[in-house]
Structure 1
Amino acid sequence: MRTRHEVAVLALPTVVAFELGLPHKLMGTAVDDDGRALYRVRVATVDGGPVRTSAGYQVLPEHDASILRTADTVIIPGILGGPPREEGVLSPDLAAALDGLSARMVSICTGAFVLAAAGLLQGRPATTHWMHAEAFRTLFPDVKLDADVLYVDDGDVLTSAGNAAGIDLCLHIVRRDHGSSVANRVARRTVVAPWREGGQSQFIESTPDAEGSGTAPTRAWALERIAEPLTLDDLATHAAMSVRTFTRRFRAETGLSPARWLASQRVAVARRLLETTDLPVERVAAEAGFGTTASLRQHLHAVIGVAPLAYRRIYRGA
């Protein structure tokens, strides 16, 4: 019988209340096709005692930091203050709790300050909320901080920007562990977008006006023709805009360039087909609009680090 993935959420003093509940709400409700829970999510504090949240109330978990030793994934939600945020260091008890863990490490928002203070982000790519980027860079100059993205997946260490980006990261983890169908089921139940690419900008400048004169109709049109070799000129022509105007509006509304958005949508289609069908890889590449298996392989590897057949084996079994 499959063993549930153990998730430990570490609540530190001044923990951001909204982010503290995200792992349970998203990962804790993920189930397989037979309705079996795929994760067990437990909350801990360092000493097992209560901590005050950002919302002005205390939480009293059932566990202390000892559960981190046997967890498969450790998640640290954002914090408003404390030594990691203010001085870039950990208290002795927190340092001892995080020392030598073998778990996958995840932070939401300013939880990245904790991972960085523990030395887990040195020389690695990471992100945090853009409002705290300057302070982060001052305290941790050796971290490759990208404050313009929603989340960063660096294998065994993942970081996200604040609040809603924590939702995106939790869904990304579910999708990485169990495939798109499971993650989409969680997203539908939670009534959130099933997938926002991690490289999308944290700050989106505008939305279409009430008359719908933005790029949303063209995006819908493109999705209906995802298998076709769409060009930037095709998209701009459909939107009745110049290429320059279309590109500017598209980025303002989505946080991505048209080319990057189109590639991400094609990767999503390819992943779904690899997970749910027996189509040959050549057919998957064609249906997703990549044209060639080489192009599909390149884009899929860039997003999740594996080739198409390896991806299918991971999520469907040999």
Structure 2
Amino acid sequence: MEIVVLGFNGCLGAAFVGSVDMLRLSSDMISKDGKRQPFQVLTATFDGKPFDDSGGRRLNVDKSVAAIAGSSAIVVPGYLCESNADFLSSPQIGALSSWLRRQHAWGALICASCSGVFILGEAGLLDGRRCTTTWWRHDELRSRYPRAEAIWGAPLIEDRRIVTSGGPLSWIDLCLHVVRSLCGAEAAKIAADFAVVDTAPSTGSAYVPLSHLAVANSFVLEAEHVVRGAGEDPVTGQDLARALGVSDRTLSRRLKEAIGETPKQFIDRVRFETARMLLETTSCSVKQLAANSGYSDAASFRRAFYRYSGMTPAAYRSRTRTRQP
């Protein structure tokens, strides 16, 4: 298998070099004890020539994209530039977009982190798909690619072999996701243990500064306060709409526009985040946590927690405690 890490003028050097190093080291660690290396990592630009990263450093690559017939996965780093519009409309980005479309059609897993997600948008690969990007470019993503289903604050999303992730350092989670997808969960665990990062895929929301949320989505912030303030009292969509002084239909529309969630999904996620925080910071029993998070009983709490985190409350608490110094 071959994994291609793309380089282009203005891309984040740390994301490009870091992705290459992490993937190559992961392949080495997985192949220890005489096992065959599971994949090869290649670097490429549009024309195979060196490129200048966002810090002005010149970086070399292995090949041009035209020299790569097929690949198992492609990683697109984020970028910085003075004018996003000019950058995205450059001839090289247009050519890369066409190549990405062909690679996806031939079965490759196409992945992008941070602002690199916009290159997938230019390729039309976000149309009709759930996706995410860094919090400060979420509104721009929704505006520029209205056919995409941009999800507010999500750390990583895969939708039909298109993988997108949030902030500038989310390339770490992206690389682990690639290893997990191509080689399985055990291989991803080996890679994560070596890199001293968490192998469990994050299913909650990425961190978003409250100041930005208050400005860009004050309605969402107020809705979160309502759900969290309810404490042990269950909250329905109708309850939330009433507390916010809007109709059920308006609540559904505004949440869908802002974060891509229904009222029930929104309430469930906020309750999950509350429960996760309590698991990390208290020694409450599962029954107490269920009540404090607004669940009717411990069984429904366990089911909901597993749906969001992929593990039981007890397993999550145990994992977080082992990671504490």
Which TM class, normalised by the smaller chain length?
0.5 to 0.7
Give the equivalent residue in structure 2 for 1:14.
10
User: Percent identity among equivalent residues?
Assistant: 24
8 A Cα contact 2:44 2:63, kept in partner? yes
Match for 1:216: what amino acid? E
State how far apart, in whole Å, the 2-side matches of 1:196 and 1:104 are.
17
Deviations 1:67-117 (A, max 9, x none): 443212111111213886557545253344335222221111111111110
The 10-residue stretch of structure 1 (91-100 or 41-50) with the greater mean CA deviation from structure 2: 91-100
TM-fit CA distance, 1:184? 1.1
**TM-fit CA distance, 1:258:** 8.6
Q: Superposition pairs for residues 99-248 of structure 1, below 5 Å?
A: 99-101=101-103, 102=106, 103-197=108-202, 199-203=203-207, 215-218=279-282, 230=286, 233-235=287-289, 242-243=292-293
How high is the TM-score relative to the length of structure 1? Answer: 0.63
What letter corresponds to residue 234 of structure 1 in structure 2?
Q
Distance 1:288 1:64, change over 3 A: same
Counterpart position of 1:97: 99
Structure 1 unaligned spans of 5+: 207-212, 223-229, 247-256, 270-286, 290-318
Query: What is the total number of aligned residue pairs between the two structures?
Result: 235
CA–CA separation in structure 2 for the residues paired with 1:181 and 1:98: 29
Whether the 8 Å CA contact 1:51–1:58 is kept in 2: the answer is yes
TM-score normalised by the chain length of structure 2: 0.62
State the Cα deviation string for residues 162-217 of structure 1 (Å, max 9, x = none).
233221122122223322221111111111122232x32111679xxxxxx96425
**Matches for 1:18-57 after TM superposition, within 5 Å:** 18-28=14-24, 29-30=26-27, 31-32=30-31, 34=33, 35-57=35-57
Residue 308 of structure 1 is matched in structure 2 by none
3-state SS of 1:133 partner: helix
Relative to its length, the structure with more helix (as a share) is 2
- The change in CA–CA distance for 1:183 and 1:163 in structure 2 (over 3 A counts) is same
Q: Distance in 2 between matches of 1:234 and 1:32?
A: 45
Q: RMSD in angstroms over aligned alpha carbons? A: 3.4
Q: Unaligned stretches of 5+ in structure 2?
A: 211-276, 296-300, 317-325
| Cα deviation code 1:19-45 (max 9, x no counterpart) | 112432333223146443212111111
